[in-house]
Structure 1
């Protein structure tokens, strides 16, 4: 008991010290220019233009020709998805893609919501903007920006959008949703210069929301979207009314986090650890190391030499599909590695998975999307934003099959106004696409809490 008390005093004192030291910090940034040439006031067109996803016969014929010329490779016996995407199952996916997948029908699905483009800092920014069809009298829709990650796209949110903009429950809030494509992803133009990182994306998305007339709004993100929206909250904390995230690995190993890792298994109550925290954080060291190696190889490539492997993926639709879809298997549930089909259609439809792949293929964005890792990791992990806490009201949806488990204590080290932490019943890394109903419910709950406090 005495040891626990002493540890609590030390931890509490350290936390108070760090809170007081960084309470008034705000992330700084300067405008950039990411188009070709040098910046000019005359070059940036602030006009907002409608955009539609299209496909030509020539593009489809080129895709089919490349698929037909792929060279099959046999997987090892009894390897399932443990060596990557199983080749036998890949042939089935490719056959469906070539013969049964109706891309034109999926284009209509993509275009069911209004798309737009506008030029910011020299590049065209694509976004989906959905306004609610019915708003109760006297009620203003709540603006919400939702930011995707890799290897996802704005399409991840298509199951979530109607739940937020067309809720059937009269007690629910009504949202006006903006889903941009990160520059270099999907239909947003790729930066033409080095150095475009998450802070630059955050700054551009602030400009986008202001151009749309929003002076304050909510933000949601997972994967890279977590970091971009976190940076948005650090840049302009008074603009972001609330931040909702479902992924938040520690960006900096602060002392309270380190202490909890060392002592949490012995003194779980001291650090507020639950049984789930203990199960996720304390497998044997060998398992932790092996799991890290199994699932982080792509990151080493993309954070160092993305252009090399990217050229192969940019030329081969089958290679691109294998590279992307393997993540939708293992990042949804690690146990899916032991299945012949990777469990892909247990959570997603092949049509939706291939639609996401097609967004990468038709826009030719795989290399520029991979470069985002190089730009964010290229200058080391000790970046200014990693040292600055977030003082915007924050909600965290903790999905059980997420790549990295983050206990409540760790979230609070970064997000000092954590007002909602929800252990979710099921779901993995692509939570918005996998469990849109659960995500919508948690966004509703969190936003109601913030709005209630504000009122």
Structure 2
């Protein structure tokens, strides 16, 4: 039987050409991703970003001594990619106007730490608020994506704190760099994708003393957190997602069938965000070339972005442009003026200084491949209470009926009439307000419908002795469902 989610040309290309890990089909709770023989340091160590002057001088030299560009075609805007007629501004700003000392201080304004999880040093921001009398503390795991970093959340942190001032809770924010991104270590072993990272972040949250917590994710962060909601539903209090997709066969079957009458499954005022499918797939095909390169030959591209800051900026800024507004395709400046120069350059420094451009690409090849396709966990529903926010220029739109094939307790889909994929980065106030509102709604739902206070003593007693078995049972359950599905049972029952 054809698996209908492969109708997406984007995923077809990646799955067909990506790496095949079928020889190692299982997900493991304690997979070692670090160098062999390394002794894991489980302490939680303070961390500061420190840029060596020699590295800054080298960066500025490379920027100022770049080769002259071959000019872009006349009136081509961003249709051929980054436009050289306007791109020089950004390179010159980075070399001449970006205050490295001041920006380093800015990036160190929040407490940062590292700890080793499964052999990798994981970098994270950890903001522990004061808890006034009468308020409760809620830990939140917040995950970024590509071409982002923890910098996406910097402006939103203050807005989140403002938005909780009159609430009966405060939010403890844990904001890690993904493995292979920023100041987190990368693995030299194949297979560390979005599913495997779910285990790393579950272990990180437990290391920090959190047995139950909220999650927030966008872009890759949304895929990783969705996996966590699937694998560890008993740990997750609630889930806020600003890239709502359900990569289930049922969702994509619905998408195909509903193309005959889109208003049967979605509001008429948002039909044009998905239909006609021809327009959606045309836009995805046009703008997803980077995806196929990352999913198939990440290290070849990695050589150029590791050696040239100009190449790194061009590659990352192209993705920022196309994900911010679809209309940026026809903008000679690519819509980059929507962001302050320091925002984009701060984010770029998380790739250039620790040389993580090449390793950040590998998450695509390690996720979109036949191994993950055969595991089948994408088709398994999760009961974690979920709120999704959808910007008007999100890279892909799914209506609630499709999202519910994955998130059975989908409490709300908040539809915005503006903004793009990088919601926290572009409009931190809108992001923060929506996120805090989602926390309120999920808490109310939990209070009314489920007992979310699990006995801590029993949890701790079972955690060490049974966690591997619990995870294995969850994975086996996923496989059983997929086996039934492949035997032609109704896909909508999942």
> Under a length normalisation based on structure 1, what TM-score does the superposition of the two structures give?
0.88
| Residue of structure 2 equivalent to 1:278 | 271
Q: Using the TM superposition, give the Cα deviation of residue 284 of structure 1 relative to its aligned residue in structure 2, in angstroms.
A: 6.5
- Aligned partners of 1:165 and 1:176 also within 8 Å: no
- Aligned partners of 1:245 and 1:397 also within 8 Å: yes
1:379 maps to which of 370, 388, 411: 370
1:391 maps to which of 383, 402, 426: 383
| Residue of structure 2 equivalent to 1:191 | 187
Residue aligned with 1:419, SS: strand
| CA displacement 1:277-311 (0-9 Å, x = unmatched) | 321222372x3343122111001101011000110
| Residue of structure 2 equivalent to 1:106 | 103
| Residue of structure 1 equivalent to 2:452 | none
Structure 1 window deviating more from structure 2 (400-409 vs 68-77): it is 68-77
| Residue of structure 2 equivalent to 1:225 | 221
| Residue of structure 2 equivalent to 1:6 | none
Residue aligned with 1:206, SS: helix
Q: Taking structure 1 as reference, are residues 126 and 262 closer, same or farther at Cα in structure 2, changes over 3 Å only?
A: same
Structure 1 runs of 4+ with >4 Å offset: none
| Residue of structure 2 equivalent to 1:35 | 34
Q: Using the TM superposition, give the Cα deviation of residue 444 of structure 1 relative to its aligned residue in structure 2, in angstroms.
A: 1.4
| Residue of structure 1 equivalent to 2:15 | none
| CA displacement 1:303-347 (0-9 Å, x = unmatched) | 01100011001100011001001111121001112122112122x
- Aligned partners of 2:46 and 2:112 also within 8 Å: yes
1:449 maps to which of 423, 432, 441: 441
- Aligned partners of 1:304 and 1:378 also within 8 Å: no
Q: Measure, in 2, the Cα distance between the counterparts of 1:388 and 1:95.
A: 49
| Residue of structure 1 equivalent to 2:131 | 135
1:420 and 2:416 are equivalent in the alignment = no
Residue aligned with 2:282, SS: helix
1:295 maps to which of 284, 287, 301: 287
| Residue of structure 1 equivalent to 2:261 | 266
1:356 and 2:347 are equivalent in the alignment = yes
Q: Measure, in 2, the Cα distance between the counterparts of 1:383 and 1:326.
A: 33
1:84 maps to which of 44, 67, 81: 81
Q: Using the TM superposition, give the Cα deviation of residue 168 of structure 1 relative to its aligned residue in structure 2, in angstroms.
A: 6.5
Q: Measure, in 1, the Cα distance between the counterparts of 2:360 and 2:170.
A: 32
Q: Taking structure 1 as reference, are residues 310 and 376 closer, same or farther at Cα in structure 2, changes over 3 Å only?
A: same
> Under a length normalisation based on structure 2, what TM-score does the superposition of the two structures give?
0.82
| CA displacement 1:373-421 (0-9 Å, x = unmatched) | 0100133534332121111001100111001111111111110010121
- The CA RMSD measured in Å over matched residues stands at 1.8
Q: Measure, in 1, the Cα distance between the counterparts of 2:41 and 2:260.
A: 56
Q: Taking structure 1 as reference, are residues 276 and 310 closer, same or farther at Cα in structure 2, changes over 3 Å only?
A: farther
Residue aligned with 1:337, SS: helix
- Aligned partners of 2:113 and 2:123 also within 8 Å: yes
- Aligned partners of 2:254 and 2:402 also within 8 Å: no
Q: Measure, in 1, the Cα distance between the counterparts of 2:179 and 2:255.
A: 37
| Residue of structure 2 equivalent to 1:319 | 311
Q: Measure, in 1, the Cα distance between the counterparts of 2:252 and 2:45.
A: 47
Q: Using the TM superposition, give the Cα deviation of residue 427 of structure 1 relative to its aligned residue in structure 2, in angstroms.
A: 1.4
Q: Measure, in 2, the Cα distance between the counterparts of 1:172 and 1:165.
A: 13
Q: Using the TM superposition, give the Cα deviation of residue 131 of structure 1 relative to its aligned residue in structure 2, in angstroms.
A: 1.9
Q: Measure, in 2, the Cα distance between the counterparts of 1:300 and 1:28.
A: 24
- Aligned partners of 1:185 and 1:366 also within 8 Å: yes
Aligned length: 420
Q: Using the TM superposition, give the Cα deviation of residue 135 of structure 1 relative to its aligned residue in structure 2, in angstroms.
A: 3.3
1:253 and 2:252 are equivalent in the alignment = no
1:125 maps to which of 104, 122, 127: 122
Residue aligned with 2:98, SS: coil
Q: Measure, in 2, the Cα distance between the counterparts of 1:299 and 1:403.
A: 13
Q: Using the TM superposition, give the Cα deviation of residue 213 of structure 1 relative to its aligned residue in structure 2, in angstroms.
A: 1.0
Q: Using the TM superposition, give the Cα deviation of residue 362 of structure 1 relative to its aligned residue in structure 2, in angstroms.
A: 0.2
